[in-house]
């Protein structure tokens, strides 16, 4: 097919040019670049957590309970951000907590993306009753407030990190299914698809190789949004005692344990929440930048 174009470009060149164009638009959004830098730091923190953390995150120093951060009068240089009620180093717990948040985000988005794309492709491509049935099921999931549905799912499956991730992924998956379906419906009668069909492409090839790559932009944006939402919701589940279980240094779980000390030890409450906020904000900033860079309709609007 490429023979018809006046100037042949290798797929490598095309990809490089697309990436360059993407980076050009992404870079213009200062917030997005800041978000990307923070996110990169977060990833580095998670990867190198054992090297960075000054202490074992679940080690309890019984002679150092509720020590305030180092810069306060009673603080100690051994525990830069202080210790919690059973003497665990908060800085180390926050550093290891980054692993949980990123892991949760990646797993949830992967499951939701995979399931959603599959359902959306089937619904959009086959139409008629397949579409009707699948989309009504998605409507049912969407009718429940997501956190509530995830909570009940976890309550039935049993509290824990794995079940929390599965529950959140199930709840997010309809958004991907709807987006994929809408994109497939818009693309499937376009000329290039018909051309591929006439050339003898089978259904699976049409769905996955021909149509899907052209539906990716909105999915990538939604994936970023879902990533930050997954970090928030899993922290909320942890806070409600339904997510990662103590002594895991998950940020939401840390907050739940800190709740009773809110009026006595501000640092055990303030810092884990700040970590959640900064991570979610960074990802959302990146999401805004991605949307501007990937969606030609919104470009420079």
Partner 1 sequence: MLRFLLAKLLYLIPTFIGITVVAFGFVRVLPGDPVLLMAGERGISPERHAELSAQLGYDRPFLVQYLDFLGGLFQGDLGTSLVTKRPVFDEFMALFPATVELAVCAILIATLIGVPVGVIAAIRRGSLFDQISMTGALVGFSMPIFWWGLLLIIFFSGTLGWTPVSGRISLLYYFDDVTGFMLIDSLLSGQEGAFASAVSHLILPSVVLATIPLAVIARQTRSAMLEVMGEDYVRTARAKGLTRGRVVSVHALRNAMIPVITTIGLQVGVLMAGAILTETIFSWPGIGKWMIDSISRRDYPVVQSGLLMIAAIVMVVNLIVDLTYGLINPRIRHK
Helix 11-28 with 266-294: angle, nearest 10 deg: 130
Q: Angle at the Cα of 281 (from 279 to 284), degrees rounded to 5?
A: 110
- The answer to whether 247 and 164 have CB atoms below 8 angstroms apart is no
Judged by CB, which is closer to partner 1: 100, or 212? Answer: 100
Q: Closest separation between CB of residue 158 and partner 1, Å?
A: 8
Q: Closest separation between CB of residue 262 and partner 1, Å?
A: 5
- The answer to whether 281 and 225 have CB atoms below 8 angstroms apart is no
Nearest to 207 by CA among 108, 102, 103, 119: 119
Cis check for the bond before 194: say yes or no (omega within 30 of 0). Answer: no
| Interface contacts to partner 1, rule CB under 8 A | 31, 136-137, 139-141, 143-149, 151-153, 155-158, 228, 232, 235-236, 239-241, 252, 255, 259, 262-263, 266, 269-270, 272-273, 276-277, 280-281, 284-285, 288, 301
Q: Closest separation between CB of residue 145 and partner 1, Å?
A: 4
CA distance 77 to 70: 5
Q: Closest separation between CB of residue 178 and partner 1, Å?
A: 14
Judged by CB, which is closer to partner 1: 45, or 279? Answer: 279
Judged by CB, which is closer to partner 1: 64, or 157? Answer: 157
* DSSP summary character for residue 257: H
Q: Closest separation between CB of residue 122 and partner 1, Å?
A: 18
Q: Closest separation between CB of residue 255 and partner 1, Å?
A: 6
Cβ contacts of residue 297 below 8 Å, gap of 6+? none
Nearest to 41 by CA among 289, 278, 288, 284: 278
Judged by CB, which is closer to partner 1: 49, or 154? Answer: 154
* DSSP summary character for residue 69: P
Judged by CB, which is closer to partner 1: 113, or 276? Answer: 276
- Residue 86: Cβ-neighbour burial (10 angstroms; 0-12, 13-18, 19+): middle
Judged by CB, which is closer to partner 1: 92, or 228? Answer: 228
Q: Closest separation between CB of residue 258 and partner 1, Å?
A: 8
Judged by CB, which is closer to partner 1: 211, or 280? Answer: 280
Collapse the DSSP code of 126 into the 3-class scheme (helix H, G, I; strand E, B; otherwise coil) and give the result.
helix
């Amino acid at each position: 097919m490429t023979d018809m174009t006046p100037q042949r470009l290798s797929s490598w060149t095309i990809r490089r040019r697309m990436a360059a164009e993407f980076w050009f638009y992404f870079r213009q959004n200062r917030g997005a670049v800041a978000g990307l830098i923070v996110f990169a730091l977060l990833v580095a923190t998670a990867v190198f957590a054992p090297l960075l953390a000054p202490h074992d995150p679940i080690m309890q120093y019984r002679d150092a309970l509720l020590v305030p951060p180092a810069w306060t009068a009673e603080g100690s240089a051994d525990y830069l951000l202080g210790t919690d009620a059973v003497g665990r180093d908060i800085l180390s717990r926050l550093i290891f907590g980054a692993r949980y948040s990123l892991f949760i985000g990646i797993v949830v988005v992967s499951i939701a993306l995979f399931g959603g794309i599959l359902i959306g492709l089937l619904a959009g491509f086959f139409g008629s009753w397949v579409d009707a049935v699948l989309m009504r099921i998605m409507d049912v999931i969407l009718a429940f407030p997501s956190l509530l549905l995830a909570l009940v799912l976890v309550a039935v499956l049993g509290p824990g990190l794995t079940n929390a991730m599965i529950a959140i992924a199930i709840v997010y998956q309809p958004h991907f299914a709807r987006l994929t379906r809408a994109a497939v419906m818009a693309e499937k009668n376009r000329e290039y698809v018909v051309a591929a069909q006439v050339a003898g492409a089978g259904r699976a090839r049409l769905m996955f190789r021909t149509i899907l790559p052209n539906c990716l932009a909105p999915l990538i944006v939604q994936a970023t949004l879902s990533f930050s939402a997954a970090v928030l919701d899993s922290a909320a589940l942890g806070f409600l005692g339904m997510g990662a279980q103590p002594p895991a240094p998950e940020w939401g779980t840390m907050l739940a344990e800190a709740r009773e000390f809110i009026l006595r030890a501000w640092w055990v409450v303030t810092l884990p929440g700040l970590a959640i906020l900064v991570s979610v904000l960074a990802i959302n900033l990146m999401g805004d930048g991605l949307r501007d860079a990937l969606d030609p309709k919104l470009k420079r609007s």
